[in-house]
Amino acid sequence: GVRHHIVKDFAESPNNHSWAYANKRWADGCNMDGFSIRVAKNELLRRPEKNKILITLSDGQPNGPSAYSGTRGENDVSEAVMETRKKGIHVFNIFFAEGKYERDNYLPSFQHMYRNKGIISCAPKDIGTELLRIVRRELK
């Protein structure tokens, strides 16, 4: 069973208590990222804005039931990213981890899943700077 939670809908007020909601829920090691990317793609396609951007956040590889983990999960994410980009939606991934070793170890998987494009791999404190740099470069 996959559960997809919307923390804040596009039309909601910024004061919708999303911070409290986000702090009371957690993924608990089962994230089928390809599924979530497809749900977000479909939601974005219903939006009227001309330019659409999807930013995913991850602290590791997709990890679902045994049939979804590893290469199958990575391939599913890669396919979902390609489907989303073909619809004209820019996809960026923020892969965060405190340690450089962990980021370097998982980077090849993220390069495969996101097709060497739109990947921000850094310590959490550097996310803002890196995201801005990558978005500026890729949206030229």
pLDDT string in tens for the chain (140-residue length)? 666 666 666 676 666 555 555 565 555 566 789 988 999 999 999 999 999 999 998 877 888 777 787 889 999 999 999 999 999 999 999 987 778 888 899 899 999 999 999 999 888 889 999 999 999 998 87
Give the model's pLDDT for residue 46.
94
- The whole model's pTM is what? 0.81
* Alpha-carbon separation of residue 111 from 58, 74, 114, 120, 125 (angstroms): 13, 10, 5, 10, 22
Query: Beta strands 89-96 and 119-122: pairing type?
Result: parallel
The secondary structure of the chain in percent helix, strand, coil, rounded to multiples of 5, reads 45, 15, 40
Closest residue by Cα to residue 120 from 22, 61, 111, 31: 111
